[in-house]
Amino acid sequence: MKVGIGRERIEGERRVAATPETVQQLRGLGVEVLIEAGAGIAAGFSDRSYADAGATVVPQLTLDDLDVYCHVRPLTPQVAARLHSGLVTVGLAAPANELPTVTALAAAGVTAFALELVPRISRAQSMDALTSQALVAGYRVVLEAAIRFPRFFPMYMTAAGTIPPARVLVLGAGVAGLQAIATAKRLGARVSAYDVRPASANEVTSMGGTFVTLDLDAVEGAGGYAREPQRRPRRPPA
């Protein structure tokens, strides 16, 4: 079986669909791995590191020779149309937003696995791409805010006076929100958070944040997830 990892073409995308560690795991299963030259450079992985892990580095990935194609961003309709029947793709596919790509994949006879649609159950934790990316997003957003904030996040006592800690408000206490709370606390900020699910108050408190209580209807669905709020009917004018 041949598994291919291509270089992401979208400007600003630094991720890669496989690391040297995962390539080594695939090679241990007897899988032949082909990786396009430069695919992991932006993520900090050189071509040499992939070659040392057992992958074959090729100047340009030829999709016709592959059995499985791994990607990060959703494929374009043009790329999907070039795939041969029987090929399997694995990656973030966003099928609800990429209908032309879904149509092209179906027409080509390709089997596509969208990692964001993998059920979030114990057996599939190692494939939970949404949680892993949400953790990164929650961490990164606080760092970006700290860079742009004109003062310090922690409290500092200097000879010229005391600098109070920054106050951070996090909206949403899911995976990304809880990671944002934890990161902001580590940087020394005073953190408050709000979520439409009242049950998340304990999670916010456990991360060191202060839960903001508003007099609003709870919007909590099955499994502890938030559900779409129902619009209240407008009152007719008097």
Say if residue 119's pLDDT is above 90: no
pTM above threshold 0.75: yes
Give the model confidence (pLDDT) of 161-200 as tens digits: 999 999 999 999 999 999 999 999 999 999 999 998 888 9
**For residue 236, is pLDDT > 70?**
no
Degrees, nearest 5: CA angle 74-79-85? 105
Nearest 5°: the CA angle 124, 182, 147 is 115
| End-to-end Cα distance, the chain | 71
Q: Which two tokens stand for residue 159?
A: 């000879």
What is the pLDDT confidence band of residue 158, given thresholds at 50, 70 and 90?
confident
CATH topology of domain 2-121: Rossmann fold (3.40.50)
Residue found under tokens 């979208």: 10
Task: Write the CB contacts of 1 (distance below 8 Å, at least 6 apart in sequence).
Answer: 30, 31, 32, 67, 68
What is the C-alpha to C-alpha distance for residues 61 and 233, in angstroms, rounded to an integer?
Answer: 55
Residues 28-71: pLDDT tens digits? 999 999 999 999 999 999 999 999 999 999 999 988 889 999 99
Domains 2-121 and 126-224 share a fold: yes
Architecture of domain 126-224: 3-Layer(aba) Sandwich (3.40)
* d(C-alpha 77, C-alpha 103), whole Å: 8
Give the residue extent of every domain in the chain: 2-121, 126-224
